[in-house]
Amino acid sequence: MNSSRCVAITGIGIWSCIGRNIKEVEESLRIGRSGIGTAADRTEYGYHCPLTGIVERPDLRQLLDRRQRAAMSEQAEYAFMASREALMMAGLLKEDTLQADIEAGCVFGNDSSALPLIEAHEVMREHHDSELIGSGNIFRTMNSTVTMNLSSIFALRGASFSVSAACASSSHAIGLAAMMIRQGMQDVVLCGGAQEVNKYAMSSFDALGVFAVPHDDAPTAASRPFDAGRTGLVPSGGAAALVLEDYDHALSRGRKILAEVAGYGASTGAGRRLSSPAVSGVLAAMRHALSDAGLTADDIDYINAHATGTPQGDSIEAEAITQLLGKNTAHTWVSSTKSMTGHECWMAGASEAIYSTIMMQRGFVAPNINLDNADEAAAHLRIPRVATEADLRVVMSNSFGFGGTNSTLILSRNQGIK
């Protein structure tokens, strides 16, 4: 990015399996509360692993009219709730509409919309009449379902587009939003990510055999990043939203700065298979982000790891982190909040940026729960088993996706959450 314009975070909002707002999520992070459970409909549908993050569907009847609701996919509903909280925190909403003098962009990560496609197919197969699909279905099926709905509902007038980059989608969305602000294209951008949680969305993941095996019949113990006994990831979802803003623009409005997006790094580096990461690609993204921020590995106080709980992925990331930190592994905290949330997929980069912001503001590192015996590759990393008080000034957040798409964000601390 390398520009004189600094990028501030002035609002954050979330709807996830560990909380339906920032307050609930902070409490979960502090006590190590898992949001993982079992979905019976997945077993009936044919899943080998019925585990998932349990995300409550919001009731929007008092907030949106029937026509608006008809055009919204599941993940767009989550994104609306998260965005509403973020925009309110940023002081930008007036009666659920953006202030008239603010031209805000909208960039969200989203890489699927399975449910409305299946629903439309079932209608056509049974009735052979496209009129019965309904006029709102098309707006639910597109990958841009989130950005188009948010831009319409909140009357956003800036650049609006979606990022499709597997499980790095929303991290790239934040990085691209920050770039637009740095380059003077936008003063304000609503950005983040959203992930549907229905049974249709994750069946192909289950087919890969990458999902976790239930641990001791305890769903909350199944997501075990960096643990030697990990067996795979647990899928999850919801939505996370951040308001990014030109620093001076935010100060001119009298807003407190929650944190800064100081750096963004991206790379591509797949292993032998599309689903396998490579140390070189992971390392490149982290180094690019540090270079962009004008920092070195010595400056990092905490790394929110991508670690999903897969045997190969966690080891590769641990090796890359070790190479990056060198002799400073004893100084830098490392943890994976996916131990509590599961893998939030398209929204993970945004939700973990929010988790990291909360930790920086509140002075603690969330625990890497379910870590009984650290994997050999991660044994020397400074991984907390319980929430630990810590002075975090610079945080790195990693997000990696199929095909080797890698994204790393550097966040730096500023003032307190308003």
pLDDT at 367 over 50: yes
Residues 6 or more apart whose CB falls under 8 angstroms from that of 218 comprise: none
pLDDT at 1 over 60: no
pLDDT at 62 over 90: yes
Q: What percent of the chain has pLDDT over 90?
A: 87
Cα(188)–Cα(210) distance, integer angstroms: 38
pLDDT at 336 over 70: yes
Helix (H, G, I), strand (E, B) or coil at 13: strand
> Residue 362: what pLDDT?
97
Residues 6 or more apart whose CB falls under 8 angstroms from that of 223 comprise: 34, 36, 212, 233, 234, 309, 338, 339, 340, 341, 342, 343, 370
Specify the pTM.
0.95
Contact 276, 408 (CB under 8 A): no
In 97-154, at which residue ranges do the beta strands (DSSP E only) sit? Answer: 97-98, 104-109
Residues 6 or more apart whose CB falls under 8 angstroms from that of 215 comprise: 221, 222, 224, 229, 231, 370
> Residue 269: what pLDDT?
84
Cα(283)–Cα(110) distance, integer angstroms: 25
> Residue 416: what pLDDT?
43
Long-range contacts of 208-216, Cβ-Cβ distance < 8 Å, separation of 24 or more: 208/275, 209/48, 210/275, 210/310, 211/47, 211/48, 211/49, 211/51, 211/235, 212/49, 212/51, 212/309, 213/49, 214/38, 214/49, 214/51, 215/370
Q: What is the mean pLDDT of residues 378-396?
A: 97
> Residue 160: what pLDDT?
97
Contact 237, 192 (CB under 8 A): no
Q: What is the mean pLDDT of residues 355-368?
A: 98
Q: What is the mean pLDDT of residues 232-258?
A: 97
Structure token digits, residue 292: 């962009």
Least confident of 79-93, 116-130, 216-230, 266-280: 266-280
> Residue 99: what pLDDT?
76
Average pLDDT, the chain: 94
Cα(191)–Cα(162) distance, integer angstroms: 10
* Residue that wins the pLDDT comparison between 270 and 205: 205
Could you tell me the pLDDT band of residue 90, with boundaries at 50, 70 and 90? very high
Scanning the structure block, which residue is given the tokens 């026509």? 67
pLDDT at 417 over 70: no
Q: What is the mean pLDDT of residues 262-283?
A: 88
Positions annotated as catalytic residues are 167, 306, 343
> Residue 140: what pLDDT?
92
Scanning the structure block, which residue is given the tokens 């009219």? 65
pLDDT at 418 over 50: no
Q: Residue ranges of the alpha helices (H) in 183-332? A: 203-207, 247-252, 279-293, 311-325
Domains of the chain with bracketed CATH:
9-413 (3.40.47.10)
pLDDT at 189 over 90: yes
418 residue type, one letter: K
Could you tell me the pLDDT band of residue 3, with boundaries at 50, 70 and 90? low
Cα(384)–Cα(355) distance, integer angstroms: 15
Q: Measured on CA atoms in the order 379, 16, 283, 143, is the torsion positive or negative? A: positive
Q: What is the DSSP string of 43-93?
A: HHHT-S--EEE--PPP--TTTS-HHHHHT--HHHHHHHHHHHHHHHHTT-E
Contact 227, 373 (CB under 8 A): yes
Q: What count of other Cβ atoms lies within 10 Å of the Cβ of residue 363?
A: 12
Structure token digits, residue 81: 């709730």
> Residue 100: what pLDDT?
66
> Residue 2: what pLDDT?
47
Contact 357, 210 (CB under 8 A): no
Residues 6 or more apart whose CB falls under 8 angstroms from that of 59 comprise: none
48 residue type, one letter: H
